[in-house]
A and B are shown apart, each in its own frame.
Chain A
Amino acid sequence: MPRRIRKSPKRANKKAKRPAKVAKKRQRRASTVSRKKAFAGKRAFAAAPKAAARLRAAPTVLARMTALPFDYPPVLKHLISASPALMESTESLGKTVSFTVAPKTVSNEPIQAQRGVMHERKIDDFRPRKDSVELAVERLKQLGFQIGRIGRFGISASGPAKLVSDVLGIRLAVQARPRRSSIRSIQNFATSFDVPQPEDLFVAPRETLTVKTTISDHIDDVVFIPPPLHFAAPNPSPPAYTFPGVDATRIHQLLNVPPGLTGKGVKVALVDTGFFSHPYYAAKGFDYQPTPAPQVDAYGHGTAIAYNVFAVAPEVTVMGFQETAQPQDALEAAAAATAGVDIISCSWGWENEQTFPILEATIRDIVNTDGKIVLFAAGNGQQCWPASMPEVLAVGGVYADPGGNLEASNYASGFASNVYPGRRVPDVSGLCGQQPKGIYIMMPCPPGCTMDQMFAGPTFPDGDQTAADDGWVAASGTSSATPQIAGVAALLVQAAKAKGKTLHTDDVRKLLEASALSVQAGKNAQGFPAVGQPNIAVGYGLVDAGKAIAAV
């Protein structure tokens, strides 16, 4: 049986009082809420311009993004909506999207299908058919596109994003060019931690950059090319290092360059891998002339060794001629009367004294007929030609330690020629590092070039204490010794011109040999000891510019 609970009078009274209590509580709560609302209102009022702007902007940005015919990857969508600059860039992409059209080719094979194998194919097979180019251009214009340029292999065109989407039947997605992190420890693992900049944005189809199209029988593909990566300009000042090396000032001292002569009015041609316009040369005010300019120097050798000429003769003109497939072509350009050079310096050659008759005749003619002063590097351990040609001035290497003690560089060549009886290489020497890698002189180079990467590393003597993409490399060899002596030759030419004299290669050789500083310690790369003067390791020794100039 259920128990009936009898309410006590006290409890009943309590219950009777409850409605009043609840009412009071409700009243208190209402008043708190209204106070909170009032406070919030005040806060809202205080922050009104900001919040109101945000409230106004948020839907506007989203509306602007939605109005564009683009897809947005989630992270990029968030970044664009939060950045007026990125939003502006996106809208500008909406107005004009650029693309490249690949017309039908003469072989009927689409050029886009040759990705990765193009180098194995005959390039002429992929030239566009003339009629296809004309008809493709006509069709693109008819569809409302602008023609940018009719190139050798493709047609550049552009148009509003909506038109591109509609005509090609594709959805375009906003994308961002990756940026490499500047934090060295994560550079190799992270490519895109940084927020994109407006110029990094581009639009392309989501799945592929190459789109097949039916808009014309004369078009194979439409290609969307992302903006290329730009590498940060290198620092015009060399990075700090702790290995025992020599800088421009020390090279100047060790070669005993006298004050007063600077190479002004003398032109030195370097024939090498290329000459990149490194800001170091501009910052120093050097007359550094890639000829013709601009030049790409993927290896970095030419850009780097030019440092050595200026270290000795800061007011000389250095004309950088890029090497050619057949080397005499670049040499002829350097020797041409129009170039007007006095000296030609070459830091390359072939081992085992492998000779090439046309090149040999050309060098001999440049020395004997044109009267140019021609220098060649002796090599880094090889028995090298053209350095062994008796007509040229062959330059070897001497190592100077931090205390100024001199010895034959064990990185540099010295040998008796097997081709030219009685010829010994080198004639004289410049400054050069030691094995294993010759890391000795900090020189400018294109950021990320082969040399920049090859020598990069934190620990000497295997690494040059620089980054692989900083545009500085510490290296040396007879490659750097040779332009140093070309710089000394420039000072001799300057001194000779002042006295109304003309110097040829043999004159320079005699002046340098007669004044060179004897080096009687160490062994060269082939193991020949530096004993006596001259010796097979370093020739007559380290060049002494002051004494040589005094003898002009």
Chain B
Amino acid sequence: MILSATVRVRLDGDSASGKPSPTALHDTAALLAELGFHVLNVGRFGVSIEGEAKEFSRVLGVDIEQDKPLVAEVHPQDPKLQTLIDMIEATPKPKLF
């Protein structure tokens, strides 16, 4: 089953804006794509990706389930990815009012 989540990109040298640099965001997106994820969006704080639950577990060291909220630290195997991201967030569908 394909699941989606957003990984937060760490702040780098240029953190005056409180946001990661575009370079760090795009490097993260490229690396995640290389590691087998489909990149949905490169945002201002992180990168949204989708992939199999086992891929999230293998690459990011997190257990992700469908429609279950998740805010957790990531433990990437890849050393480069370790320096780029620190957190993952998966939101279940919101309620409509």
Would you call B6 and A358 a contact (CB within 8 A)? yes
A432 nearest CB neighbor, chain B only: B97
Would you call A332 and B97 a contact (CB within 8 A)? no
Would you call B97 and A380 a contact (CB within 8 A)? yes
Would you call B97 and A479 a contact (CB within 8 A)? yes
Would you call B91 and A359 a contact (CB within 8 A)? yes
B2 nearest CB neighbor, chain A only: A123
Would you call A377 and B89 a contact (CB within 8 A)? no
Q: Which residues of B contact A273 (CB under 8 A)?
A: 96
A369 nearest CB neighbor, chain B only: B17
A189 within 8 Å of B (CB atoms): no
The CA of A245 and the CA of B82, in the complex, are separated in Å by 56
Q: Give per-residue flags for A140-153: 1 if the beta carbon is below 8 A from chain B beta carbons, else 0.
A: 00000000000000
Q: Which residues of B contact A194 (CB under 8 A)?
A: none
Q: Contact check: which of B8, B40, B95 meets A357 at CB < 8 Å?
A: B8
Q: Known pairs A324-B41, A325-B50, A328-B45. 12 more at Cβ < 8 A? A: A299-B96, A326-B41, A327-B91, A327-B94, A329-B43, A351-B95, A356-B91, A357-B89, A358-B46, A379-B97, A478-B97, A479-B97
The CA of A236 and the CA of B91, in the complex, are separated in Å by 36
26 cross-chain CB contacts under 8 A: A123-B2, A273-B96, A301-B96, A324-B48, A325-B4, A326-B6, A326-B40, A326-B41, A326-B89, A328-B43, A329-B40, A329-B41, A329-B43, A329-B48, A332-B41, A349-B95, A356-B71, A358-B6, A358-B45, A359-B89, A362-B45, A365-B44, A380-B97, A384-B95, A384-B97, A479-B96
> What's the count of A-B pairs with C-beta under 8 Å?
91
A515 within 8 Å of B (CB atoms): no
Would you call B71 and A326 a contact (CB within 8 A)? no
Range of interface residues on chain B?
A: 20 to 34
Instruction: Please report B residues at the A interface, Cβ cutoff 8 Å.
Output: 1-2, 4-6, 8, 19, 40-41, 43-46, 48, 50, 52, 69, 71, 87, 89-92, 94-97
A328 nearest CB neighbor, chain B only: B43
A320 within 8 Å of B (CB atoms): no
Q: Which residues of A contact B90 (CB under 8 A)?
A: 326
Known contacts: A325-B4, A327-B91, A347-B96. The answer to whether A357 contacts B71 by CB under 8 A is yes
